[in-house]
Amino acid sequence: RMAGSSTPWIGSAYLFLQSTCKTIMLPSLYESSQKKPSVFRALKLALADSTGSMNGVDMLKVHCSHPHLIVQLKFCKLENCRRFLQSYREGALQRSLQNHLQLSLAMTTVPLEMELKAGSEHLDNMLKDEDHCLECIYREKPDRLRDEEITELEECLKSLTVHQSINNNVAVKDCAPLKSLSLPYPSQGSSHPPAVSFIFQGQQFDNRTITPDDHQKFAKLVSKKWKQVGRSLQKSCRALRDPVIDNLALEYDREGLYEQAYQMLLRFIQSEGKKATIARLIAALEENGLISLAEELLGLHSNEDCS
C-alpha cells in the first residue's frame, strides 16, 4: 500500500490539453521555436500554482500530438499530487493555465479542454474518489528521465528577465510533431510488468512481446535508420550503448543493412526478455519518424513512405 511504504512516493500521469478555439493550435505553438518558451513558461507557472511550489510536479516531456499537447508529469510527493488533483478537480489549474497562456502569448483568451490519464485509466471519470486517483498515479512509474529539451527550456526560463519571452530570440530546438503517443513502458530493472496495452494513432493495441515476424519486417524495412532506432531504445536498454551499436555496424558491414538492423534488435530482445515489447519498439520508431514502419508492424498497412 502507498501509505505504509517506506519507499519514496513517486507517480506519473499524462495531462492532455486542447484549445477549444479553432484558430489556436497548442501543438503548433509549441513546435514554433519562438513561441515554445512562452508555452512552456505558462505550463510551468500553472503547475506551480496547482501544487504551491515550483518543484511540486516535474514535467518529463511535452508531446505534440495534434490536436493535443500532452504533458508527461512526475510526482515525487503524495501531498503534492493531492494538491494537484484538488486544483485540477476544482478547475483552478485550468483557469491558471488559461491566464498564463494569455499573458505569455499576448492573446485575448485561450480557452482550454483538459483530460488527465494514468496508464489506461481516465482520471476525469473518478475525480471524486481522490484516493483511487492517487493509487492510479502511484501505480504508473515514470518510464523516462526528463527530456533534454525540457532541461533546456528550464534553463531558458531561469535566464529570462523579460516578461514576454516571445521578444527574446531564444534558440530552442523545434519539437518534432508526434502523430500519436505510445503509453509508457517500464525501464530496465523496474519490478512493474509492461503495460498490457498502448495507444497508437488513437487505436488501442495489445502490448505483446516482439515476434520473429516483427523482427524480420523491422530488419527489412528500417534501412539506414536502424542506428537511430537503436539509440532511442538504448535510453532504457543498457545492452545497446553507443559502442555496441558502432561495433554492430562494423561487424556486419559486409552483410549489409538488413543484418545490421537484425542483430541490433536481437541484442535488445535478448537483453530485455519479456520486456522487449512492441510498445517500446513502436515508440522508438515514432521518435525517428518511421510511422509507416510502425503501421506495418501493427498491421495498419499505410502507403506512406517509410524513409
| Residue pLDDT, tens place only, 119-128 | 999 999 999 9
Residues 86 and 208 in one domain: no
Residue 51: per-residue pLDDT: 92
Q: Tell me which residue range forms the domain holding 218.
A: 197-298
- 78 in a structural domain: yes
Mean pLDDT of the region 19-46: 92
Q: Do residues 227 and 288 share a domain? A: yes
Residue 4 in domain = no
Whether residue 130 sits in one domain with residue 228: no
* pTM for this model (two decimals): 0.53
Domain boundary (120, 153, 186) is at 153
Q: Answer whether residue 259 shows pLDDT above 80.
A: yes
**If you average pLDDT over every residue of the chain, what do you get?**
84
Structural domain contains residue 180: no
Q: Answer whether residue 88 is part of any domain.
A: yes
Is the confidence at residue 260, as pLDDT, over 90? yes
**155: pLDDT strictly greater than 90:** no
Q: What's the CATH code of the domain at 248?
A: 1.10.533.10
- The residue among 97, 124, 153 that closes a domain is 153
Is residue 3 one of the residues assigned to a domain? Answer: no
CATH label of the domain that carries residue 97: 3.30.70.680
Structure confidence at residue 305 (pLDDT) = 44
Is pLDDT of 194 > 70?
no
Of the candidates 100, 126, 153, which is a domain's last residue? 153
Quick check: is 270 in a domain? Answer: yes
Residue 203: its pLDDT value, please? 85
The model's confidence at residue 140, banded by pLDDT at 50, 70 and 90, is very high
In angstroms, the CA 250 to CA 253 distance is: 5
Q: What is the pLDDT of residue 160?
A: 56
Question: CA-CA distance, 37 to 23, in Å (whole number)?
Answer: 20
Residue 190: is its pLDDT beyond 70? Answer: no
Helices 212-221 and 278-287 cross at an angle (nearest 10°) of: 10
Residues 141 and 212 in one domain: no
Do 147 and 19 reside in the same domain of the chain? yes
In this structure, is residue 46 part of a structural domain? yes
pLDDT digits (tens, 9 = 90+) for 36-69: 999 999 999 999 999 988 889 999 999 998 899 9
> Are 81 and 148 in a shared domain?
yes
Under the banding of pLDDT at 50, 70 and 90, the label for residue 186 is very low
Burial class for 7, CB neighbours closer than 10 Å (0-12, 13-18, 19+)? exposed
Task: For residues 133 and 232, state if they share a domain.
Answer: no
| Helix, strand, or coil (residue 247) | helix
Would 26 be classed as within a structural domain? yes
Q: Decide if pLDDT at 241 tops 80.
A: yes
- For residues 149 and 213, state if they share a domain: no
The answer on 126 and 257 residing in a single domain is no
Our measurement of the distance from residue 192's CA atom to the centroid of its chain's CA atoms, rounded to an integer in Å, reads 18
Distances (CA, A) of 70 to 27, 62, 113, 165, 196: 9, 6, 12, 22, 21
Same domain (yes/no): 245, 123: no
Using a pLDDT cut of 70, give the percent of the chain over it: 84
18 shares its domain with 127? yes
The number of distinct structural domains making up the chain is 2
Specify whether 84 is located in the same domain as 149: yes
Residues near 76 by Cβ (< 8 Å), separated by ≥ 6? 8, 9, 10, 58
State the DSSP string of 61-86. EEEEETTEEEEEEEE--HHHHHHHHH
